[in-house]
Structure 1
């Protein structure tokens, strides 16, 4: 199977945007359980990997990897707060 046929799950809107909005609405940091629940229940589409790369380019950033969601969210939160 070529790269164009390989499908990946792609959160729409981005997982980063969802987590950021949920945390702002909550008014305090999300817990690991909350982050996992959001990840597990967010809307996703299956797209070929080349389409996912194009969507990343259009967004202007790489989304959080759902497989490493908690750790990437913690790092991203820190970067957003410092920047």
Structure 2
């Protein structure tokens, strides 16, 4: 099981320049989905496979993302927390 606290650190370091990663606020890049919406738009657990394979999107500004298994678990835990879709919501 991942740590939402460690996931928060990761997304603030690696994702916040484009995505809104907190419970409120706009994404710095308008086309970047806020993290709080990802758990509503997609089953967060389904994103685990995408993270493991390396995120590659059709969006030209999105860099390729490669994560270690522990980082994936931490980001999943954070996404569940920030979107309110995780266990104990």
Q: TM-score, normalised by structure 1?
A: 0.32
Larger helix share, 1 or 2: 1
Q: TM-score, normalised by structure 2?
A: 0.31
Larger radius of gyration: 1
